[in-house]
Amino acid sequence: MRTARATRVRVDWFTGAWAGLDERVALLLDEYRDLLPLTSELSLVLASLAVARGEWAEAEAYLGATGIDQPADAIAQIALGGFGVLGWMQLARGELGAAVESVNRGLDLLRRKQVWSWAGELTPAAVAVLLADGRDDEVRKLLGELDDCTVGLEAPLARVALQCGRAQLAESDGDFRSAAALYREVELQYEALPAPYFAALAAERAVHCRLALQEPGAAECLTALAEVFDQLGASRDAARCRHELRSHGVAAPSRRGRRGYGAELSPREQEVARLLGRGHTNREIADVLFLSPRTVEQHVAKVLRKLNASSRADLLKVSR
């Protein structure tokens, strides 16, 4: 029963049932705090949610409990997922050297354990990191190994990750037309699993390829993707899409169809309030939401006023 409950929240993560998920997982984590196989899986879910929201400190804290510090003693499939999440986070933070080390540690574990059917979470992160470091030959080797070791197996996540890696490699090679088509296939395969968050990430990469091809209307597709990420609760991903929209001179439409919110918090102010409540600085909030520090200052002032808080400390007390 306990294992089933932990597995259930992992399934909820994959299938996009994120509403209230972190609260449910935190309760289970407290209940099962002495059961390592369960706490490591629960911690991976919380770390994954934190990275999707750009909450780096929280993600690092949870990742430490997934077994990545001592992979030889870890639950292999959980540690592989942990290395993948860590690699994505470090790449997003511009820590390329650390990201390369992290994904290589994950790949070492994968090759030692020969558990290629569990490579689905690690592979896209490893490919992105290695390509960013110019290690194209290592990516080709990895994809060849993954193909050879999963062909004919019932390993849908690993097989989709293989196709995603091929799309990433085509994009890196500058073959944007092929990459866009491959990403579209990957998106559909993730949707069929279903894994809507991964599908949205693939769709975002397809848009980037279309932008590189200067396809008319490609940038506007980011509006719909931002909404998908918002609905999931992936606030950093949504902010990244809107930032990309602005960089192409396209104004993101109001998410409620009107500009005035009165005494209510706007969607952006809600995001700022949530991050404030977790103790983030203005600079950290600016990084998460792809905003200038000055814009964040303005949002913070509005949040404090609307919530009748005289200071950030007051807001922290309310949040606790």
pLDDT digits (tens, 9 = 90+) for 95-111: 999 999 999 999 999 99
Q: What are the tens digits of pLDDT across the range 26-43? A: 999 999 988 888 999 999
Residue 77 gets the label, from left (phi > 0), alpha (psi -120 to 50) or beta, of: alpha
In this prediction, residue 251 carries a pLDDT of 63
Task: Enter the pTM of the model.
Answer: 0.90
In this prediction, residue 12 carries a pLDDT of 97
In this prediction, residue 116 carries a pLDDT of 98
Mean pLDDT of 219-238: 94
Task: Give the chain's end-to-end CA distance (angstroms, integer).
Answer: 31
Residue pair 289/235 in contact (Cβ under 8 Å)? The answer is: yes
* All residues at 6 or more sequence positions from 284 whose CB lies less than 8 Å from its CB, including other chains: 56, 275
Q: Quote the CA–CA distance of 35 and 173 in Å, as a whole number.
A: 45
Amino acid at site 96: L
What proportion of the chain, given as a percentage, has pLDDT over 70? Answer: 94
Residue pair 272/300 in contact (Cβ under 8 Å)? The answer is: yes
Q: Which comes out higher in pLDDT, residue 291 or 97?
A: 97
Q: Which comes out higher in pLDDT, residue 251 or 96?
A: 96
Residue 3 binned pLDDT confidence (cut-offs 50, 70, 90): confident
Q: Quote the CA–CA distance of 55 and 239 in Å, as a whole number.
A: 13
Mean pLDDT of 159-173: 98
Least confident of 69-73, 80-84, 190-194, 278-282: 278-282
Residue 247 binned pLDDT confidence (cut-offs 50, 70, 90): confident
In this prediction, residue 311 carries a pLDDT of 76
Mean pLDDT of 89-95: 96
Q: Which comes out higher in pLDDT, residue 253 or 219?
A: 219
Mean pLDDT of 44-62: 95
Listed residue (186, 227, 189, 231) closest to 205, CA to CA: 186
Residue 182 binned pLDDT confidence (cut-offs 50, 70, 90): very high
Is the model's pLDDT at 50 over the cut of 60? yes
Is the model's pLDDT at 318 over the cut of 70? no
Is the model's pLDDT at 196 over the cut of 70? yes
In this prediction, residue 312 carries a pLDDT of 77
Residue 114 binned pLDDT confidence (cut-offs 50, 70, 90): very high
Residue 268 binned pLDDT confidence (cut-offs 50, 70, 90): confident
Top-ranked range on mean pLDDT: pick from 41-45, 271-275, 280-284 = 41-45
Looking at every residue in the chain, the average pLDDT score rounds to: 92
Q: Quote the CA–CA distance of 245 and 194 in Å, as a whole number.
A: 27
